[in-house]
Structure 1
């Protein structure tokens, strides 16, 4: 990570506790899909979860039976992970230069984090670390654009923030990977799921995003107050049904 991308990626350290408390997890269907796309099981697999953050996906991978190690560059995010998952191995690092042995992983996973890397560096690094026929898996929870209230919120945020989702690459990930190595064959799926959370949790989720974390408390408070008012018109009971399009890319390490 260099320049602005690194600055934005490490901005999560300023909202690490909020991130851990409010960010959504992932449904079991995600891990079923990754296993099917990879032709591999997580049970007993050696998995490195890169950009692990506060350990949201790390915990789910462990619960799936993986022998998982978390890799995270941010000290405050890593501290949240350590607090919640004290028995999971944790390494400081990022995907551009993995401090991991070659050929040592069955899976390299990026949950909501691959877009903070330089693909020209992180893709070769992933395939260096993967064992033969191991798999790289990338996924992102994206607010579902087919849900009207979600689309309206995204439009409001886009209007207020010119750099909104500037780092989002979820649908483009397979094409980016193939541009770097035409011998790779990425598979792509979109899953759909929902969760219902209190309004404060939803606003905490919004406030944990990178563009909020870098704009300052005064601006953040103003935007979130406006969103509270808008959302109470749609959800007067204060229970927000969040809908996600979960974009998943899986690439097997091909025989060379």
Structure 2
């Protein structure tokens, strides 16, 4: 695992408290494309983190097992989801039996794998006709203030030669996410949430680009961003706009 991938372990509580969840339409779309319900399906949620997606899958009635490599994230997962099985491992070497899953899901996690290893592993663990689902919550740049903030992030991180979160290969529809032998179908699902300005900035700070940046530089950006957004949202409430990029393929 890279230093950037492991950076979440020290910020697991911040991640769990401030990251956005996913809209019900995402799971509806997943079931539609897979041609079967999640209820009673065997689901492996890989790179489960603190369990944001896992808990939704469980609530939908799936018999879900989480797979998570990080110590801090796994500890936070167990605090939040004591009744859901968790095994330690990563997508490149799944600690799961062959042909044991109806669904394998990667929520915000596929980009931390080596697709040349993770692809064959997913196909090994999936049953015939099972579904591999990859998705990412990305900021919706059709909102003017979101696009402006993204531009500030890019300008800020240029100095440190760090690519900010939500860019490049983390979006759906890229060849980088392809798996030999699988044909993906893509969907985009918009959603919003209203949060306090403090939650918005804490969510931003839970992304790996800031976690590897260091406290001083992170504080520099967040102080400036707080001033700008306080003028834009004087009541202290921010409406965050997202698009979930979903890619699903049947084995």
Q: TM-score, normalised by structure 2?
A: 0.95
Q: Secondary structure at the match of 1:185?
A: coil
Deviations 1:33-80 (A, max 9, x none): 111111121000000100000000010000000001110011111101
Match of 2:26 in 1: 30
Q: CA RMSD in A?
A: 1.2
Match of 1:50 in 2: 46
How far 1:206 moved relative to its partner?
A: 0.4
Gaps of 5+ in 1: none
8 Å contact kept, 1:109–1:137: yes
C-alpha separation in 1, matches of 2:45 and 2:105: 5
Match for residue 237 of structure 1 among 230, 235, 238: 235
C-alpha separation in 2, matches of 1:160 and 1:168: 20
8 Å contact kept, 2:104–2:122: yes
Match of 1:102 in 2: 98
Match of 2:11 in 1: 15
Verify: 1:170 aligned to 2:171, yes or no: yes
Report how many aligned residue pairs link the two structures: 246
Match of 2:220 in 1: 222
How far 1:167 moved relative to its partner?
A: 6.1
Q: TM-score, normalised by structure 1?
A: 0.93
How far 1:176 moved relative to its partner?
A: 3.2
Q: Following superposition, which runs of at least 4 residues in structure 1 exceed 4 angstroms of deviation? A: none
Q: Secondary structure at the match of 1:215?
A: coil
C-alpha separation in 1, matches of 2:168 and 2:11: 18
8 Å contact kept, 2:169–2:176: no
8 Å contact kept, 1:72–1:93: yes
Aligned pairs for 1:91-170 (under 5 A) are: 91-162=87-158, 163-165=163-165, 168-170=169-171
Deviations 1:203-234 (A, max 9, x none): 11001000100111111111111111111121
C-alpha separation in 1, matches of 2:82 and 2:28: 26
Deviations 1:82-112 (A, max 9, x none): 0011111001111011011000000000001
C-alpha separation in 2, matches of 1:55 and 1:128: 24
Gaps of 5+ in 2: none
C-alpha separation in 2, matches of 1:246 and 1:55: 17
C-alpha separation in 2, matches of 1:90 and 1:41: 22
